[in-house]
Amino acid sequence: MGAHPQGADAVGRLELAQVLARHGAAFRATHRLSAVQRRAMRAIVACRTPALGGHVERCDACGRLRYSYHSCRNRHCPKCQTLAKERWLAARRAELLPVPYFHVVFTLPHRLNALAQGNPRMIYRILFEAAARTLLEFGENPRWLGGELGVTMVLHTWGQTLSQHLHVHALVSGGALAPDGHWIHPRGGFLFPVKALSTVFRGKFLAGLQRAFDSGALVLAGSSAVLAQARERVALFAALRAQPWVVYAKRPFAGPEQVLQYLGRYTHRIALTNNRLVSLSDTEVRFRYQDYAAGNRRKVMALDAQEFIRRYLLHVLPKGFMRIRHYGLNGNRGKRHQLAQARAALNVPRPELVPTAPETIEAFWLRVAQLDIHQCPHCASGQMRRIGVPLPRAHGPPP
């Protein structure tokens, strides 16, 4: 577990940890939470505080002491995603092909939100499977390409106001590997028609949802309890079939560097970052958001503190659930062999695989921010050196 200097974040900046520390107990007293939601709340509040322990450092020039506390490393914590993202991106660089990549977004209708709240693991799994099979089958169809695509998908469950907005972002290779080993390029820079994708995606998702109902795999409670009645399920499916489902395709990325920039924005994003928080009071939380319906204007929303926490916890993922998944050429099974075939078809050399240890926290901050985290913040000439025994949990000076 890495340690971070206490006070490394901007002084005075409002953090999600402060919201949860101030209003979390009242929320827990009035709401039923899952174990993973409780764990996330505890981790975020404790992150980089004496609660997780740490160590003492002393400047070798001026003698100033600094107390450094451990990170929680919870994937829902706003302070613990940057290094994980960079390490993940480093592992992906060798897997990108020198072709355009398309960005396709598959969105579930809001009618499914309540069902997803009671069955997140099942609904998210069906969403991934339906979107992935839709793309792969279009890729295999000779009318469009006739080969195997490379696909990476990322689950997002939120909108800008922390409302429930279930969708997956898919990064799709611009072309496919044919069964005979040659590379098939998309015609005229066009991948697949989004209306056709939408229709097939809807059909596959509803088929998966029907199987889940038939097998008794869904928990029907709260506002979803009515779906225990057959006529209510029939009405739900009829309504879902009657509405168009949103599938959105953006213009293709020009090359690997643009792809990596995209991945950096989406793969390890969480529902709300600390820099969007504006103010906190005894009753409400104010935060910034983009209003897409108003031309992406930046606005500030005020929510009751209990409602803010409720919305944030909607986006805590089930334990062990993988929100980034790979399919086709990128699938974990046989990936090395398949990507090697694709590179051969594209007549590009295999990237050099130089085994390296994961980048350290020190090296990361020096590279991305030109920040030497060991430099003394007081005299700026000495180096902070670890001294003595580690700080035990819940001891040491106040943060």
pLDDT digits (tens, 9 = 90+) for 10-62: 345 899 999 999 999 999 999 999 999 999 999 999 999 988 888 899 999 99
Q: How many CB atoms lie within 10 A of CB 14?
A: 18
Residue 91 domain flag? no
Residues 62 and 111 in one domain: no
Report yes or no: 338 and 329 within 8 Å, Cβ to Cβ: yes
How confident is the model at residue 68, as a pLDDT? Answer: 83
Residue 355 domain flag? no
Predicted TM-score (pTM) of the model is 0.87
Q: Which of 83-92, 181-190, 270-279, 320-329 has the lowest mean pLDDT?
A: 83-92
Residues 219 and 323 in one domain: yes
Residues 19 and 155 in one domain: no
Residue 16 domain flag? yes
Residue 65 domain flag? yes
How confident is the model at residue 182, as a pLDDT? Answer: 96
Q: What percent of the chain has pLDDT over 90?
A: 66
Residues 330 and 380 in one domain: no
Domain extent at residue 45: 3-77+360-391
Residues 8 and 107 in one domain: no
Residues 214 and 327 in one domain: yes
Alpha carbon distance 326, 183 (integer Å): 20
The DSSP H or E segment spanning 260 is helix 256-266
Q: What is the mean pLDDT of residues 375-379?
A: 91
Report yes or no: 31 and 366 within 8 Å, Cβ to Cβ: no
What is the average pLDDT score of the chain? 88
Helices 16-30 and 35-46 meet at what angle, rounded to 10? 150
Alpha carbon distance 261, 143 (integer Å): 31
Residue 4: is its pLDDT beyond 70? no
Residue 93 domain flag? no
Residues 194 and 134 in one domain: yes
Residues 51 and 164 in one domain: no
**What amino acid occupies position 208?**
G
Which of 127-136, 294-303, 364-373 is predicted most confidently? 127-136
Length of the chain: 399
Residue 222: is its pLDDT beyond 80? yes
How confident is the model at residue 261, as a pLDDT? Answer: 76
pLDDT in tens, 250-293: 878 877 778 877 777 777 788 999 999 999 999 999 999 999 88
Place of tokens 């994708």: 197
Q: What percent of the chain has pLDDT over 70?
A: 90
Strand, coil or helix: 364: helix
Both tokens of 57, joined, read: 């450092």
Both tokens of 230, joined, read: 């057959």
Residues 44 and 174 in one domain: no
How confident is the model at residue 13, as a pLDDT? Answer: 87
Alpha carbon distance 124, 156 (integer Å): 10
Structural domain total, the chain = 2
Residue 89 domain flag? no
Residues 67 and 103 in one domain: no
pLDDT in tens, 314-331: 999 999 999 999 999 999
Residues 59 and 108 in one domain: no
Q: What is the DSSP letter of 95?
A: G
How confident is the model at residue 368, as a pLDDT? Answer: 62
Residues 199 and 221 in one domain: yes
Residue 280 domain flag? no
Residue 14 domain flag? yes
DSSP string, 75-87: TT-TTSSHHHHHH
Q: How many CB atoms lie within 10 A of CB 210?
A: 12
